[in-house]
Amino acid sequence: MPISADIKQISPEEKKQIHQQVKVDLVDHLYKGCLPGTVSGMVASVAIFIDYYGYTSTKGLIAWVIFFNVMMISLSALYFTYNKIKPQFELNSWEWAYSVMMSLCAVAWIPCILLLPSDINHQYLALLAIFLATTGYATGTIGQFQLCLVTLNIILIPLIIWCLLRGGLFYDIMAVFSAIYMSFMIGTNHRSTQWFKDSLKLKLENTLVSYQANHDFLTHLPNQRLLPQFIASAIQSVKSTGETFVLVCFSLNRMEMIDDSLGLQVSNSLIRSVADRLHDLVGQFKEQGTQCVVTISRKDTFNILWVPIVLEEIENKLKQLFAVLDDPFYLEKKGIKITASAGICIYPKDGSDAQSLLMNADAAMLQAKQFGGNHYEFYRAEINAQIPKQLELENDLHIALKEKQLQLYYQPLLDLHSGEISGMEALIRWPHPVHGFISPMHFIPLAEETGLILPIGEWVIQEACRQTRLWHDMGFSTLRIAVNLSQKQLKHKQIIDTLRRILEETPLDPQFLELEITETAILDESVIPVIKEFKNLGLSLSVDDFGTGYSGLSYLKRFAIDKLKIDQSFIRDIPANNDSMTIVSAILAMAKELHVATLAEGVETIEQMRFLLTKDCDYVQGYFFSKPLDTQFFTQLLLSGYNLAACADIKETVYKE
């Protein structure tokens, strides 16, 4: 059986809506024919009166004309009532009312047959009028086949009976012709009804498919196909007035991490929630006199037009835009706080057409992403000049990995209780042959984006374990090496086999390898088996940058975390910031209760050291002791017997205070 799919992508619910809309359109079509039908019916009644007068019962004829026109007027009244109060009644009620009224109008033709004139010449005209009326009912009920059957039978069955009762060749022929004509008109109505329904269905399906092609399926916002048209319309609207407008490229940060950690369903719900908040913001801008159009170009990127705008108001409106992310998004009983990056283009300064404005706004947004957080950048010409540099950097990174240009530096971790170096953190460095040392802040995000983080990460672990084993062989047998693991490495299916192979090849006892994972990585349910397997291998686990993510205390016990690394952003503000001191104190106290070791990152001053000693922090790391060193200098540091010679003095000073 061949594999296939519905290229129109119409869901069962949408098909149900289309079916309902076809029914609505059919009823509308029926009522639209009411007024022309009643007018032609009244004209026909006058013509029949003239034809019949003097050749049939005058009283009966007058009574029929009055009755017939009353029915025509009633049908017209139903038409006007439908147009006026249509929403107040269900569709089935209007359909039933129309069917009843049309049936009564058909009944009104029966006396016309019974009053047929005695003169054969006048009968010809009467029969012609009746057949024309039959044609009118057959066409007026297109879309309602059953109603067609009822009305035609009401009109023509009495005519057939009348002809057969009169007898004679002419009337027998008329009876047969009437039966044949009725069958023909019923067949015509049936085919027309089916064609009409199919045409309406096709029209609605095409309208829906066109909507789907021009709107995002998840948020129902206009997509990138419509955005150039919106921009072109905005250009036309401000050209004659001399005003300006702004295009904002608004991209949510770290959505890939949320996808990986919480799953696609949560990620989709988050995007929908952001779209809803942006929709509410459109109304606020409208009240302020600025037309706002929101579209979506990628799953996590929205494009926003403000038309027109005063340049002095842009930053205020940007604050309103970023304010939609102030409150957490509560999804599956979890509060998620997200940030965004925005690039801003101003017409006509930053572009004179849709293509240039879109390209420049996107470039400014990518520039803003380098700073993280809720950051925005106005487009500048030099931003586009940086794009080729990014491509060159990516190519150079491939070469660096292939030609082994990358190096590991080591920053010592000091035990505050013994004052000795207990281990080191492996930090990657890239001495570029042309540009000199390139900061990891520049090439690590690029490696994440391109997938190079996997081979780079494997090389870091391999080299760090190899070098640690060499230091063990030199007599420094208690040193522990700490290595960062990225989200992509954690998700890689070969990570356990890779670690096991490296530990066997180096060879390094697993207890001396410490893997650092971020708080956000712990949220990902899919990595739970991997983290548990780390413990089964005998590896140590530490939570990096603790205090900046979303994890709860339950994770510390669930995964038997060995160490918490307190983020340097808290340490940096000690002792100037009381809030930071309170947070660090709370983390240290909590860790002690849970029997988890603690390490403070970014220690740079004697005051920070004293504070950490009073709070009984276990380990410290930072420039107060040593910057990251290459292998040669770190070896010299170890051989020199470097330790915290001043540690006792510091403790003594603190205790005296």
In a domain, 222, yes or no: no
Give me the residues paired with residue 541 across strands. 515
CA distance 564 to 559: 13
Are residue 321 and residue 442 in the same domain, yes or no? no
Which residues in 228-237 are b (16+ Cβ under 10 Å) and which e?
eebbeebbee
Q: Collect the ranges in the chain with pLDDT lower than 50.
A: 1, 3-7, 550-551, 646-657
- 360 and 445 assigned to the same domain: no
Pair 262, 363: CB distance under 8 Å = no
Residue 221 domain flag: no
Q: What CA–CA distance (Å, rounded) separates 499 from 458?
A: 8
Strands (E) located in 314-364: 329-331, 334-336, 340-347
- Number of structural domains found in the chain: 3
In this structure, the chain runs to a length of 657
Claim to verify: residue 259 and residue 185 sit in the same structural domain = no
Q: What is the pTM of this model?
A: 0.52
261 and 113 in a single domain? The answer is no
Contacts of 269 (CB under 8 A, 6+ apart): 331
Position 386 in a domain: no
Q: Which of 574, 585, 652, 646 shows the shortest CA–CA distance to 607?
A: 574
Residue recorded with tokens 């067609």: 148
Neighbouring residues of 36: CB distance < 8 A, sequence distance ≥ 6: none
Indicate which CATH number applies to the domain containing 292: 3.30.70.270
Sheet strands (E) in 211-311: 245-252, 291-298, 301-307
Q: 164 and 242, same structural domain?
A: no
Domain harbouring 411, CATH code: 3.20.20.450
**pLDDT one-digit tens code per residue, 600-630:** 998 988 899 889 988 899 999 998 888 999 9
CB 603 within 8 A of CB 620: yes
Same domain, 398 and 274: no
CA 407/CA 203 separation, integer angstroms: 64
Q: Which residues contact 377 (CB under 8 A, 6 or more apart)?
A: 341, 342, 343, 344, 364, 365, 367, 368, 383
- Final residue before a domain boundary, out of 379, 405, 424: 379
Burial of 635 per CB tally in 10 Å (0-12, 13-18, 19+): middle
Please tell me the distance from the alpha carbon of residue 346 to that of residue 244, in angstroms, as a whole number.
Answer: 7
Contact 223, 296 (CB under 8 A): yes
Evaluate whether residue 6 is within a structural domain. Answer: no
**Residues near 515 by Cβ (< 8 Å), separated by ≥ 6?**
482, 483, 485, 534, 539, 540, 541, 542
First vs last C-alpha separation in the chain: 84
481 domain residue, yes or no? yes
- What does the pLDDT read at residue 552? 52
What pLDDT was estimated at residue 44? Answer: 84
Last residue of a domain, one of 182, 214, 246: 214
Find out whether 258 and 267 touch, Cβ atoms under 8 Å: yes
Task: Answer with the one of 357, 379, 401 that is the final residue of a domain.
Answer: 379
The domain of 638 spans 392-656
Asked if the structure places residue 2 within a domain, the reply is: no
Whether 478 and 578 share a structural domain: yes
Say yes or no: 411 and 529 in one domain.
yes
Residue 368 in domain: yes
pLDDT for 242: 80
- Shared domain for 525 and 458, answered yes or no, is yes
Q: What is the DSSP letter of 323?
A: G
Write down the pLDDT at residue 636: 92
> In this predicted model, what pLDDT tens digit does every residue of 441-476 receive, in sequence order?
878 877 887 788 899 999 999 999 999 999 999 999
The residue among 206, 250, 243, 205 whose CA lies nearest residue 227 is 250
Helix, strand, or coil (residue 557): helix
Residues 303 and 405 in one domain: no
Does a structural domain hold residue 73? Answer: yes
Same domain, 526 and 621: yes
DSSP 168: S
- Does residue 188 sit in the same domain as residue 290? no
- 523 within 8 A of 262, measured Cβ to Cβ: yes
Q: How far apart are CA 157 and CA 163, in angstroms?
A: 10
Query: How many CB atoms neighbour CB 494 within 10 A?
Result: 11
Q: What are residue 334's DSSP bridge partners? A: 331
